[in-house]
């Protein structure tokens, strides 16, 4: 049981931090997306309240950002390898029992037929014309497939969504400035092998809601 718990913790820690860092990077690079998400939060959530999971159904654009971050840079581009339990034939290819199989999540995320202009960060691709989520139930390939899908996907999904909501409801994320006040440009560059992370980049955080900031600090300091 301890080994299972440790495996889950290590797997979740690596991927969750990757997704949150990618989210912050995306918000710096796309201030229009950030502004639209914050406007949605301010429209739905009380001025002195932090968004909660109960608000999620009313925040489709924020959920679309979550889906787009997973697509834009999936934390494990080649997925988790699995072994076949029996011989199989797929699309004319013979796959013997015991063969190692990986799902190329990077290729799926860059499929131009499904995601036109796939290299562009665009949460709206996950929304209908009237602003609703195309798929309200997250079943993202980032979490795997079939019986071996990530068992912690619901916890991870809720944790990351909550972090995104808290950040945008309290903070404005922007480029850092040099001593002369000039903006420091950044590039979305990544590093890593099995799990990827954005390379270190500079950014700034500015509070945009002191009431929410105080509430968030109280939650973080709760013992």
The pLDDT value given to residue 79:
84
The pLDDT value given to residue 119: 94
Domain of residue 181: give its range: 2-78+120-220
Q: Which residues are part of a known binding site for heme?
A: 150
Q: What is the mean pLDDT of the chain?
A: 89
- What digits encode the pLDDT tens for the residues 66-92? 999 999 999 998 888 888 899 999 999
Task: Report yes or no on 92 lying in a domain.
Answer: no
Binding-site residues sit at 150
Query: What's the domain count of the chain?
Result: 1
- Residues with Cβ within 8 Å of 50's Cβ and at least 6 positions away in sequence, in order, are 165, 166, 169, 170, 212, 215, 216, 219
pTM strictly above 0.85: yes
pLDDT in tens, 151-166: 778 888 999 999 999 9
- Answer whether residue 151 is part of any domain: yes
> CB-based contacts of 64: which residues, under 8 Å, 6+ apart?
123, 124, 125, 126, 127, 133
In a domain, 210, yes or no: yes
CATH number at residue 210: 1.10.630.10
Residues near 94 by Cβ (< 8 Å), separated by ≥ 6?
A: 87, 88
pLDDT tens digit string along 17-42? 999 999 999 999 999 999 999 999 99
Q: Which residue has the higher pLDDT, 74 or 138?
A: 74
Tokens standing for 74? 């999936």
In a domain, 16, yes or no: yes
């Amino acid at each position: 049981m301890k080994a299972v718990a440790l495996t889950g913790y290590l797997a979740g820690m690596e991927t969750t931090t990757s997704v949150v860092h990618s989210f912050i990077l995306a918000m710096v690079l796309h201030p229009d997306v950030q502004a639209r998400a914050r406007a949605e939060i301010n429209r739905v959530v009380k001025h002195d309240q932090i968004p909660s999971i109960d608000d999620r159904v009313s925040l489709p654009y924020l959920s679309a950002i979550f889906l787009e971050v997973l697509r834009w840079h999936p934390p494990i581009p080649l997925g988790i390898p699995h072994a076949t339990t029996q011989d199989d034939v797929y699309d004319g290819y013979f796959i013997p029992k015991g063969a190692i199989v990986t799902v190329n999540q990077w290729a799926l995320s860059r499929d131009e037929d499904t995601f036109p202009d796939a290299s562009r960060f665009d949460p709206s691709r996950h929304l209908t014309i009237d602003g609703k989520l195309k798929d309200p139930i997250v079943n993202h390939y980032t979490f795997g497939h079939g019986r071996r899908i990530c068992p912690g996907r619901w916890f991870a999904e809720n944790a990351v969504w909550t972090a995104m909501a808290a950040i945008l409801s309290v903070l404005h994320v922007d480029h850092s400035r040099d001593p002369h006040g000039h903006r420091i440009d950044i590039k979305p560059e990544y590093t890593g092998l099995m799990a990827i992370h954005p390379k270190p980049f500079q950014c700034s955080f500015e509070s945009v809601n002191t009431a929410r900031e105080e509430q968030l600090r109280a939650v973080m300091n709760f013992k």
